[in-house]
Amino acid sequence: MSSQQQSHQRVFLITGANKGIGFEVVKKLAANHPTDLILLGSRDQKRGEEALAQLGSPLNVKVLLIDTSSKESIEQAKQEIQKKYGDHLDVLINNAGIAPIKSDLKALKDTFNTNFYGVKQMNDAMSPLLRDNGRIVNVSSEAAALSMKHCSQDLKTKFLNPNLTETELEELFAPLFKAVEEGKDPKTVGFDPIKYSALENFYLLYYCASKLGVTILTRLEARDWNKKYSTKNITISAVCPGFCTTDLNNKAQGTRSPELGADSILYAVYTENLENGQFWRDGSRLPLESEE
């Protein structure tokens, strides 16, 4: 790749893109940007290669091995971008996510390691690579707003504090981890287990809390990066793709297609003058607290 090509070619990275909504995002980006580079993130090389083959191995798509729950893996992926792909990013889509099927401490840690810390670690590591007018989309869920609705008033006030720091945000979840570790009801520390019948087959509280974390994190990153990257005009958004039929929910029926979920994400990639740090679905602003 010549340096001239590198400077003109835009680079998109989508994590967890070997299947589901992330795969559909890559498919659309590959078609829309034939001369740009789309990095199809996959935590497993073989699954990534299979996804690439399923796309017909377009020349503008490359597999990037990346496990977002591992700092080492993120660092290796970053080095690969620096060495092989021009040392920059234009769009980062933090799509990788899991839904726990158990309610023990390991399930809580695993969920947060990918859905919350994974996004934070990705952004800490990759944001310096973003060029002018770069975009980050943190794939969240309306589950975040449900979590906000069902947590204590004290927690709500703290989550919505405009001066909250990222460290303080992490600390707001510490009592939940302690309660689960000690076998206490999460309600005693302000996190009320949520009853949301459409998602009944995984442990909702952990998933919803992790997505609340990502949605609030997005607001804080937008606020802080205005200063940190003041000349770069970076836009960061949280997006709900909507309830889509994927492996995450055991291919739940009566939901929307992952293609539509991808469109919801791409809205935050393509829309001009998007308000920074906000929460979107299908191009409409979502409230931070569910009205359901």
Ligand X SMILES: NC(=O)c1ccc[n+]([C@@H]2O[C@H](COP(=O)([O-])OP(=O)(O)OC[C@H]3O[C@@H](n4cnc5c(N)ncnc54)[C@H](OP(=O)(O)O)[C@@H]3O)[C@@H](O)[C@H]2O)c1
| Residues annotated catalytic, as ranges | 207
The single residue among 16, 86, 190, 213 that binds ligand X, judged by CB under 6 A, is 16
Q: Which residues in 138-165 are b (16+ Cβ under 10 Å) and which e?
A: bbbbbbbbbbbbbbeeebbebbeeeebe
10 Å Cβ neighbour count for 168?
13
Q: How far apart are CA 96 and CA 41, in angstroms?
A: 9
Our finding on whether 141 is near ligand X (CB under 6 A) is yes
Our finding on whether 219 is near ligand X (CB under 6 A) is no
Q: How far apart are CA 82 and CA 5, in angstroms?
A: 15
Amino acid of residue 172: L
Our finding on whether 21 is near ligand X (CB under 6 A) is yes
Our finding on whether 47 is near ligand X (CB under 6 A) is yes
Do residues 196 and 146 touch, judged by C-beta distance below 8 A?
yes
Question: Least distance in Å: CB of 154 to ligand X?
Answer: 27
Q: How far apart are CA 220 and CA 279, in angstroms?
A: 12
Q: Which is nearer to ligand X, 144 or 179 (CB)?
A: 144
Question: Least distance in Å: CB of 72 to ligand X?
Answer: 12
Amino acid of residue 125: A
Q: Which is nearer to ligand X, 9 or 246 (CB)?
A: 246
Binding part of the chain for ligand X, among 1-9, 26-34, 95-103, 147-155 by CB under 6 A, reads 95-103
Our finding on whether 97 is near ligand X (CB under 6 A) is yes
Question: Least distance in Å: CB of 272 to ligand X?
Answer: 24
Our finding on whether 246 is near ligand X (CB under 6 A) is yes
What the block records as the tokens of 98 is: 């899991």
The single residue among 40, 93, 139, 148 that binds ligand X, judged by CB under 6 A, is 139
Question: Least distance in Å: CB of 191 to ligand X?
Answer: 18
Our finding on whether 237 is near ligand X (CB under 6 A) is no
Our finding on whether 134 is near ligand X (CB under 6 A) is no
Our finding on whether 123 is near ligand X (CB under 6 A) is no
Our finding on whether 10 is near ligand X (CB under 6 A) is no
Do residues 286 and 279 touch, judged by C-beta distance below 8 A?
yes
The single residue among 40, 74, 77, 96 that binds ligand X, judged by CB under 6 A, is 96
Do residues 227 and 162 touch, judged by C-beta distance below 8 A?
no
- Per the DSSP assignment, residues forming a β-bridge with 191 are 151
Phi, psi (5° rounding) for residue 90? -110, -35
What the block records as the tokens of 114 is: 């990918």
Residues in touch with ligand X (CB under 6 A): 15-16, 18-22, 43-44, 47, 67-69, 95-98, 114, 118, 139, 141, 240-241, 243-244, 246-249, 258
